[in-house]
């Protein structure tokens, strides 16, 4: 049995879709649905059971299950980079991960967890997924620090040799619709462009970047779950890995890819950035992918243009929108 925490969320539900594609449905979903629309991500998926995260933790620690857990994919956390409740982040992102990691290590179960490119801060120390460089990293928002803290803990406790951590960069794709302001720009701009024929991007306040010239390593969610599946099928591989394409692209590139996919002439308006974002804004991110390649992952990553086209035309422009088996 495989457990996927955050299984109704964006990457979690996408990974379950991937597992289903590979013929696997012995899956337990752990999440916290409340009144979120993320339940819609589950409609097309095959799985055995669902547990609220609080019930799951209680039963896990009491060994109160009638099945064996072979692996936990921990994708359940607060992913809002603008979250200001640090106690909430420490409990939800750091301590929760600690509990699951310790359980898996003690019970010899596979453990994979989501870290984040936000741990790299402003990028002054580069974007190399080398555990030896972890102590140098200085996240610039609370979310990034909560993720970084567990990366450091795994290193200090010598856990890294027995688990897999993934530093996801700018992930976009189907099943992110419930994320509100944390949706990708592609997702948020789709309706905007459809109604106004124009897209809004933040102005740049950095002399090295023109308006819309800020760069991100955008990666399609289908590529992310391919990496996850491959790592799971190669259990001798462990450690901390970047999950990006290794090729930074501008927001202007992203906008133009969206206009092309929607068959609408490009029209971009550059707007002021909220003051709350200015001091924690990343102007450039680009994953170094040599480490993942060095352990044998060979599949190419989808280009930005092809990924946006697939997302827009196969999902957002259709009634179902969600990944489906």
> pLDDT tens across 260-276, in order?
999 999 999 999 999 98
Nearest to 107 by CA among 164, 158, 63, 155: 63
The residue with greater pLDDT, 133 or 257, is: 257
Burial class (CB in 10 A: 0-12, 13-18, 19+), 246: middle
Is-catalytic flag, 179?
yes
Give 288's contacts (C-beta < 8 A, 6+ positions apart).
126, 127, 128, 129, 242, 246
Per-residue pLDDT tens digits for 215-244? 999 999 999 999 999 999 999 999 999 999
Q: What is the pLDDT of residue 203?
A: 96
C-alpha to C-alpha distance for 243 and 173, rounded to whole angstroms: 15
Is-catalytic flag, 167?
no
What are the DSSP E strand ranges found in the chain?
A: 2-5, 27-31, 49-52, 71-74, 110-116, 164-168, 170-172, 199-202, 215-216, 218-220, 239-243, 249-250, 268-271
Q: What is the pLDDT of residue 293?
A: 98
Answer left, alpha or beta for residue 204, where phi above 0 means left and psi between -120 and 50 means alpha: beta
Asked if residue 82 has pLDDT above 80, the reply is no
Domain 2-173+218-246+285-301, what fold?
A: Rossmann fold (3.40.50)
Asked if residue 79 has pLDDT above 80, the reply is no
The residue with greater pLDDT, 63 or 296, is: 296
Asked if residue 87 has pLDDT above 90, the reply is no
Choice among 96, 110, 143, 145 that is catalytic: 143
Angle at 318 between CA 316 and CA 319, to 5 degrees: 110
Answer left, alpha or beta for residue 122, where phi above 0 means left and psi between -120 and 50 means alpha: alpha
Q: What is the pLDDT of residue 78?
A: 72
The arithmetic mean of pLDDT across residues 40-65, rounded, is: 95
**The pTM is what?**
0.95
Q: What is the pLDDT of residue 49?
A: 97
Three-class SS of residue 40? helix
Helix then strand count (H, E) for the chain reads 11, 13
Q: What is the pLDDT of residue 325?
A: 84
Out of 142-151, 166-175, 225-234, 291-300, least confident range: 142-151
C-alpha to C-alpha distance for 197 and 217, rounded to whole angstroms: 25
158 φ, ψ (degrees, to nearest 5): 60, 35
Q: Are strands 27-31 and 164-168 parallel, antiparallel or unpaired?
A: unpaired
Q: Are strands 249-250 and 215-216 parallel, antiparallel or unpaired?
A: antiparallel
Confidence of residue 31 (pLDDT cuts 50, 70, 90): very high
The arithmetic mean of pLDDT across residues 151-159, rounded, is: 88
Out of 80-84, 131-135, 228-232, 308-312, least confident range: 80-84
The arithmetic mean of pLDDT across residues 205-217, rounded, is: 96
Choice among 38, 167, 179, 215 that is catalytic: 179
């Amino acid at each position: 049995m495989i457990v996927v925490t955050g299984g109704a969320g964006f990457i979690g539900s996408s990974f379950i879709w991937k597992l289903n594609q590979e013929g696997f449905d012995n899956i337990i979903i752990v999440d916290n649905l409340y009144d979120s629309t993320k339940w819609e991500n589950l409609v097309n998926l095959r799985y055995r059971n669902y547990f609220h995260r609080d019930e799951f933790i209680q039963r896990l620690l009491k060994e109160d299950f009638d099945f064996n857990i072979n692996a936990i994919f921990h994708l359940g956390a607060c992913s809002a980079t603008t979250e200001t409740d640090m106690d909430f982040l420490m409990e939800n992102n750091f301590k929760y991960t600690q509990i699951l990691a310790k359980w898996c290590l003690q019970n010899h179960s596979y453990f994979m967890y989501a870290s984040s490119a936000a741990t790299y801060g402003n990028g002054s120390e580069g974007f190399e997924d080398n555990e030896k460089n972890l102590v140098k990293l200085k996240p610039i928002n609370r979310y990034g620090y909560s993720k970084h803290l567990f990366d450091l803990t795994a290193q200090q406790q010598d856990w890294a040799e027995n688990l897999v951590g993934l530093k996801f960069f700018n992930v976009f794709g189907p099943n992110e619709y419930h994320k509100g302001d944390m949706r990708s720009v592609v997702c948020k701009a789709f309706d905007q462009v459809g109604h106004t024929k124009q897209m809004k991007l933040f102005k740049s306040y950095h002399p090295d970047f023109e308006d819309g010239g800020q760069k991100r390593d955008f990666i399609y969610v289908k590529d992310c779950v391919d990496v996850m599946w491959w790592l799971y099928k190669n259990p001798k591989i462990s450690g901390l890995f970047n999950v990006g394409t290794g090729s930074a692209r501008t927001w202007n590139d992203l906008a133009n890819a969206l206009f092309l996919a929607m068959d609408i002439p490009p029209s971009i308006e550059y707007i002021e950035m909220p003051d709350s974002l200015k001091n924690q804004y990343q102007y450039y991110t680009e994953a170094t992918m040599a480490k993942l390649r060095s352990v044998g992952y060979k599949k190419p990553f989808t280009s930005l243009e092809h990924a946006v086209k697939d997302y827009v035309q196969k999902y957002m422009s259709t009634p179902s929108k969600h990944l489906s088996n």
